[in-house]
């Protein structure tokens, strides 16, 4: 489904990604871990098509087609979703109106009929229960005045509504207390399906206690320095990231 080969990318004139190769199949959950500044968020943003991130080498194929020359809205319409590390606030646009506009744009792209306001209201109310978002929050401005935890839950709500096929979660666990973390994790698990893949970017192992990954990759200095199963995450939790740096140096 997603095939990343030797991906290199820079922000401004600073190269961050130094050749990432990663293959993600339907139904798989990949965790990408690594120390701060290792390029985890850059990878997520490059995949979502954010301006200011320049791809300087390599390829990314999504469903066998080049992903990198598509606009962010096209990528979303094709089923790619980025849950942001820092979701922005948009006062003046209600959550409900925003999500209706987004869902109908995606449905239109997929050749499905658009939902009217009443039908959409049913959808959003049902999905809001999943992440325990009260209805009063739906009529507020997008993320306006939301706490950190509410913003992250709102990201999962959007994901549930848009029903993407590839979900990128960028440090969704950061800044969450244990209750919010469990709500978010339950939301993610409820969305796991055989035809839906996840890339979970995280600094800590704790989210992975709740969302079990099939593969764990460690990013360091813009490269994947180690890949393994979920036991690798536990090892990292115990030993930190330092030993991998040592191992890398030792292997040269």
Partner 1 sequence: MNQEDTSSPRTVSGDPSSLYGMMDPGLRSAGVTASGFRLDVRRGDGSSIELKPEPIKDGQRLTVPPGSQATLIEKNESLRPEPYTTQSKWEIVLSEGTKLNHYKLVHEGPQATHHSFLEVEVRRAASFQSHVFLFEGAQIRNTIHVRMAGEDAECLLEGLYVGSGSRVIENHTLIDHQKPRGTSRELYKGILDGRSRGLFDGLIIVQKEAQKTDSAQTNKNLLLSAEAKAVSNPELKIFAHDVKCRHGSTIGQIDAAQLFYLRSRGVPQAEARRLLIYAFASEMIEQVEIPALRDILFPCLNLATYIRK
Q: Which residues bind partner 1 (CB under 8 A)?
A: 48-51, 71-73, 75-77, 81-82, 84, 87-88, 90-93, 98-99, 101-103, 105-106, 109, 141-142, 158, 162
Least distance to partner 1 from the beta carbon of 93, Å?
5
Cα 195 from Cα 26, distance rounded (Å):
5
Closest by CA to 43, choosing from 80, 92, 7, 94, is 7
**Please, which residue, 82 or 225, has the CB nearer to partner 1?**
82
**Please, which residue, 82 or 236, has the CB nearer to partner 1?**
82
Least distance to partner 1 from the beta carbon of 75, Å?
8
**Please, which residue, 62 or 84, has the CB nearer to partner 1?**
84
Least distance to partner 1 from the beta carbon of 22, Å?
20
Least distance to partner 1 from the beta carbon of 130, Å?
18
Neighbours of 135 (CB within 10 A): 12
**Please, which residue, 79 or 222, has the CB nearer to partner 1?**
79
Q: What angle do CA 89, 90, 91 make, to 5 degrees?
A: 110
Phi, psi of 247 (to 5 degrees): -60, -40
CA dihedral sign, ordered 233, 235, 241, 246: negative
Tokens read off for 212: 């079990």
């Amino acid at each position: 489904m997603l095939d990343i080969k030797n991906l290199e990318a820079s922000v401004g004139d600073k190269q961050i990604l130094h050749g990432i190769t990663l293959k993600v199949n339907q139904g798989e959950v990949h965790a990408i871990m690594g120390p701060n500044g290792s390029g985890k968020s850059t990878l997520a943003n490059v995949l979502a098509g954010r301006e200011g991130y320049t791809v300087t080498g390599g390829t990314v194929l999504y469903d066998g087609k080049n992903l990198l020359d598509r606009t962010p809205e096209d990528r979303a319409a094709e089923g790619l979703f980025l849950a942001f590390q820092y979701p922005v606030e948009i006062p003046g646009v209600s959550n409900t109106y925003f999500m209706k506009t987004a869902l109908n744009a995606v449905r239109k792209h997929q050749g499905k009929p658009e939902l009217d306001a009443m039908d959409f209201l049913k959808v959003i109310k049902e999905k809001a229960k999943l992440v325990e978002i009260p209805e009063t929050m739906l009529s507020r401005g997008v993320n306006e005045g939301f706490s950190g935890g509410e913003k992250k839950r709102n990201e999962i709500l959007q994901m549930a509504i848009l029903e993407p096929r590839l979900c990128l979660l960028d440090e969704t666990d950061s800044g969450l207390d244990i209750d919010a973390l469990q709500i978010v994790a339950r939301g993610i698990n409820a969305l796991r399906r055989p035809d839906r893949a996840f890339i979970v970017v995280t600094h800590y192992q704790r989210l992975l206690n709740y969302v079990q990954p099939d593969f764990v990759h460690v990013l360091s200095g813009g490269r994947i320095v180690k890949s393994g199963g979920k036991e690798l995450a536990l090892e990292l939790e115990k030993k930190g990231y330092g030993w991998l740096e040592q191992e890398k140096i030792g292997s040269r």
